[in-house]
Amino acid sequence: MILLPTPKRSGQVTKSAGASPTVLTLGSPEGWGFDGRITDDAAMKISAVYGCVTYLCDFVSSLPVYVWDGNKRERVTDHALNRVLSIRPNAWQTPSALKRFAMRSILLRGNNYAFVVRDPRTMEIKELIPLSPDCMRLELVKNVPQYFYTAPKTGELFRLDAQDVVHLPGDGEDGLKGLSVLRYAANTLSRASAADEYEQAVYKNNARPGGVLETDSDLGGLSSVPDPNNPDKMLSKKENVRRAWENAHAGSANAFRVAVLDNGLKYQPIKIDAYDASFVASKDVSVADIARFFGVPLHCLGAGKQSYSSNEQNSLEFVQGRGLAIVRGWEDELSYKLLTDSDLSKGYRIKFNLDGRLRGDTAARAAFYKSMHETGAYSVNDIMRLEDRPDVEGGDVHYASLNYVPLEDFKELSRKRNGLDKSMSTPG
């Protein structure tokens, strides 16, 4: 396969075979052809998996993201990239929808890819277009990642320059590609799926068909009833009795109907009960295992002990642990791929704002703000911004208490406070 040279940070996709490059844009939808297959996953039918994926997607999609000046420790409000990050990343998605899709791709497919569309004249980033992870092949060539994307609708293979692909991998084995959480949790998910199927079978056959019909009569030989699947043959007497019982009593519509037995038939149920088999306990274990694989607090799945104080603490620990690790990985990749070398030299980086998720209850926030204001670390307007409220006049002044002063200045400050700053003369 011959690869055509692609300029760095070109904002274009080069076809891997052929005489001329092909540029994929929103004007040629047959080129992209993302068909949303990622949403069709059997694992999402397991309630615990659905809860974990939804929780992590909600967490990431709700975080504000913007360009941050690390030197001045403030937002860069006039940067052109803010429009893509906070207003519209592409023609059909909102920023939260794109982040949600990306997180879902990482969890269920192990990787998320987005193509960076740049203005060919100014190299300014115009759009971020999500790519189906199932159609991406990644190779490491001379220590440089090479991305090969197959357009789902046309089948054409394209090479994407590494600088034009935002790649957010999950945990992996080679440090290059991530692996789906579902792959690691395969055994647990298989057990959970089997438990769901068993539970469904219990309710579906709630007439307790798991039993034995006993009789002293001879049920050997053929009956006079034709086989529905083969009209030329007759059902055996045993099969005829079994079908007659199931037709009369199986299924929710026939549940608890009175059974009328003749010819000396007696029904002996085989007691296979979900609770007798510790079914509920086994399902709780599966939910806890799935939560551990995804790194989601157990109470967020409606399981475990429900206590307001402990749940709040567990949520904060998630943000400071698993949540912070996810955000840091995103910030590193987005900063390197979306910001120019000039931006990076100025100390700019892409930042997710976790302040809102790290806030405690009202009393805890009030105590924290009070302490930071009294020590002079926060001004009133600093606190107002953290609470998403407008600035107040004169609120930018920082105050500090004089109750704690250096010992070498104590005598001077004490004399000034008591009006003894001038030398006292003794009458002659």
- Counting other chains too, the contacts that 234-238 makes at CB distance below 8 Å and 24 or more residues apart are none
Domain regions of the chain by residue span:
1-208+270-358, 211-268, 361-428
pLDDT per residue of the chain (428 residues) written in tens, 0 to 9: 233 333 344 444 444 444 333 444 434 434 443 333 333 356 677 778 888 999 999 999 999 999 999 888 888 989 999 999 999 999 999 999 999 999 999 988 889 999 999 988 888 999 999 998 888 999 888 888 889 998 877 788 888 889 999 999 988 888 888 888 877 777 666 666 666 666 666 556 554 445 665 666 666 667 777 777 777 778 777 677 777 766 666 655 555 555 555 666 666 665 545 444 444 445 555 788 888 888 888 888 877 666 666 777 788 888 888 889 999 999 999 999 999 999 999 999 999 988 767 666 677 778 888 888 888 888 998 888 777 678 889 888 888 776 777 777 777 877 887 776 555 444 54
- Give me the pLDDT at residue 6, please: 39
Q: DSSP of 353-413, one letter per residue?
A: --HHHH---HHHHHHHHHHHHHTTSS-HHHHHHHTT----TTTT-----SSS--GGGHHHH
- Give me the pLDDT at residue 276, please: 47
- Give me the pLDDT at residue 41, please: 55
> Under a CB-based contact definition with an 8 Å cutoff, are residues 127 and 89 in contact?
yes
45 burial type by CB count under 10 A (0-12 exposed, 13-18 middle, 19+ buried): exposed
User: In the block, which residue shows the tokens 């600035």?
Assistant: 391
- Give me the pLDDT at residue 415, please: 80
> Under a CB-based contact definition with an 8 Å cutoff, are residues 226 and 287 in contact?
no
- Give me the pLDDT at residue 339, please: 93
Q: How far is CA 91 from each of CA 49, 88, 409, rounded to the nearest angstrom?
A: 30, 7, 63
**Residues forming a β-bridge with 117:** 127
Q: Which residues contact 408 (CB under 8 A, 6 or more apart)?
A: none
Strands of 48-110, DSSP E: 65-69, 74-75
The identity of residue 237, as a single letter, is K
Token pair of 263, please? 């010819």
Give the separation between CA 89 and CA 62, rounded to whole angstroms. 15
- Give me the pLDDT at residue 125, please: 92
Give the separation between CA 158 and CA 148, rounded to whole angstroms. 6
Give the separation between CA 238 and CA 232, rounded to whole angstroms. 18
CA 374 from chain center: how many Å? 39
- Give me the pLDDT at residue 403, please: 73
> Angle, nearest 10°, between helix axes 279-294 and 186-204?
150
- Give me the pLDDT at residue 352, please: 93
Give the separation between CA 416 and CA 46, rounded to whole angstroms. 73
Q: Which residues contact 95 (CB under 8 A, 6 or more apart)?
A: 65, 85, 86, 87, 88, 89
